[in-house]
Amino acid sequence: MSYAIVGFGKIGQALAHAFARKNIDVTVASRRPPDALAPQVRAIGPTVVAKSLREALEADIIILAVPFGEHREVAKALPSWKGKTAIDAMNALVSPEELDGLPSSAFVAKAFTGAKLVKGFNHLIAATLATDPIVEGGHRVVFLSSDDEEATAPVVALAKQLGFAPVKLGKLNEGGALVHARDRIWGQLIFQDLFKKEQ
């Protein structure tokens, strides 16, 4: 599996640290050209490489860490998302009306036609996400939800590789609603920094 992080703000960088910690190759891309990201990327580690958006989107699994309003622009960068898994690590700070009453990830999924979409890595603040997820013999929990059961398997595997304890919440509008942020309504599991003793 090849991995990319699109968006190199606080969450994108926190996730890049998680990959670097485990020596897993990951491509990062943002609105800025790859050269502009190079100093930060070098500081994170040798397995993190800055590329253009187009090159980053060649990855099998793509983590969306852009501001919510920019996800459609990313979606347009590929003619088809068939065969790709998109991990929605964004939080939508817009009103439910703007999302057609859908959970934010279900709304995002409409833009990424053909992709398998999984909500994940969005419920922790960047500073927490950037730290080692293995603490006192436990693994920091990341919540995953998707309307496609098959899509979750490679994301579960990635979360474990990164040292997290993945917890599946089921479909986006069921358990997934617990980690959705819309407007000023935060799901009950947002910011819950939990650990599991067993992987």
pLDDT in tens, 143-172: 999 999 889 999 999 999 999 999 999 998
pLDDT tens digit string along 89-118?
998 877 777 888 888 899 999 999 999 999
CA distance 100 to 108: 11
Per-residue model confidence as pLDDT tens digits over 18-64: 999 999 999 999 989 999 999 999 999 999 999 999 999 999 999 99
Helix, strand, coil distribution of the chain in percent, nearest 5: 35, 20, 45
Amino acid at 9: G
pTM over 0.85: yes
Q: Cα 90 to the chain's mean position, in Å?
A: 7
Exposed/middle/buried for residue 168 (C-beta within 10 Å: 0-12, 13-18, 19+): middle
Report residue 184's pLDDT band, with 50, 70 and 90 as the boundaries: low
In 10 A of CB 103, how many CB atoms?
25
Phi, psi of 58, rounded to the nearest 5 degrees: -75, -15
Question: Helix, strand, or coil here: 171?
Answer: coil
Distance CA 67, CA 109 (A): 15
For residue 199, pLDDT over 60 is answered with no
In whole angstroms, how far apart are CA 153 and each of 101, 146, 149, 165?
Answer: 28, 10, 8, 13
